[in-house]
Amino acid sequence: MGIIGCGLIAQVMHLHYLRELADRFEIVAICDVSEAARTAVGLDYGVARQFAAWQDLIAEPLDAVLVLTSGSHAPAAIAAAEAGLHVLVEKPMCFSVLEGRAMVDAATKAGVTMMVAYNKRYDPAYVRLLEESRTLNDLRLLRITTLESPLEPYVKHYNLHRGGAVAPDVAEGLAQDNSARITAAIGDADPLSRWAYHLVLLDSLVHELNAMRGVMGEPDRLEFADIRETGVTAIFTFGPTQCVLSWVDLPGIARYAMEFDLYSPDRRLTLSFPSPFLRNAPSILVSEGGSPGAASSWRTEEITSFEESFKQELVHFYECATTGRTPTTSAADSIHDIALCEAVVQVHRSRTPRDKPSEPAITVAR
């Protein structure tokens, strides 16, 4: 494996579990624009081959790369696929549907695996939710709620290596690249919409959108979307079922919360995810039911497993790369999540509902 990006998520999760899975993976090359970060990580994991540019890393004799940089992952992922390497990219896979199509085309042409690291889909408790959701009759409401909280309390207990200051010209180049890719996705939108698209929808809610699709399939309609400085709300319909998705920024309390609530007349399911930065913290599945017309009711709380979802997705990537199996969160499937992010901004700005919002249609060049 070659690792592109040695920042927070690499140090807290991926590198840690790659080493635990040494029977499957060997980290042989790393890359980061920060010399301080890549040097420190190289010492921690015994990796001598270190690069400042991902173009140099993918020229190495590798089987696969893990793309963990900030910004769009499309350029590195496309080049890696064209070099014949299997690719696992962190979310978001890219900044636009057009970029996503180019990524899928490159992987298909090269015959390599390209997978997106949506760790929640590999959480054993989420798999249990899928099983239980199929037993519900007349599902009427799905409520997805994310209460965002400060990051630092969840990661300061790790021995993190902070990168030094990036050269001003490099930082400016990255910022301009992000801006251009956002414009390609949503046009010359207002600053609030651009901020939400980049740092809320792509950076956070894309997880929830993918997990929503994992339970419900593709939405029939995006009825409503609203972007505020403190949150995002979207309402989808799946046949007779309504889904209300809410993301709220609550910086005053270090109490991250993310819940999936499914409501049918005789059964309720709630899946609660812990902070994604806490290793092996279990997700909790609660099931509630009762007797129609009677006061009696019941409630069960289940811890499915202490297996870490980040580790499970790495195991899945290995299986797909070595057997040719299509990943659960393949790049081709994940384009629908980017399409939903674009649709939320469009519906917010136009105040007009949109049918089939996850269809990654190629529109006229923007």
Tell me the β-bridge partners of 303.
284
Indicate the burial class of 86 (C-beta count within 10 angstroms; 0-12, 13-18, 19 or more): buried
pTM flag (> 0.75): yes
CB 63 within 8 A of CB 27: no
Contact 283, 256 (CB under 8 A): no
Q: CA-to-CA distance for 276 and 117, rounded, in angstroms?
A: 12
d(CA 85, CA 23): 19
Whether 114 and 67 have beta carbons less than 8 Å apart is answered as no
Q: Kindly list the distances between the CA atom of residue 304 and the CA atoms of 124, 210, 308, in Å, as whole numbers in the listed order.
A: 6, 21, 11
The structural domains of the chain, ordered by start, are: 2-118+314-330 (3.40.50.720), 121-306+335-355 (3.30.360.10)
Per-residue pLDDT, 361? 58
How far is the C-alpha of 52 from the C-alpha of 54, rounded, in Å?
A: 7
At 163 the pLDDT is 79
Question: Which residues does the chain have with pLDDT short of 70?
Answer: 361-366
Phi-psi region of 162 (alpha: psi -120 to 50; beta: other; left: phi over 0): beta
Res 292: pLDDT: 86
- Phi first, then psi, for residue 70 (nearest 5°) are -80, 170
**Over the stretch 247-257, which tens digit does the pLDDT of each residue have?**
999 999 999 99
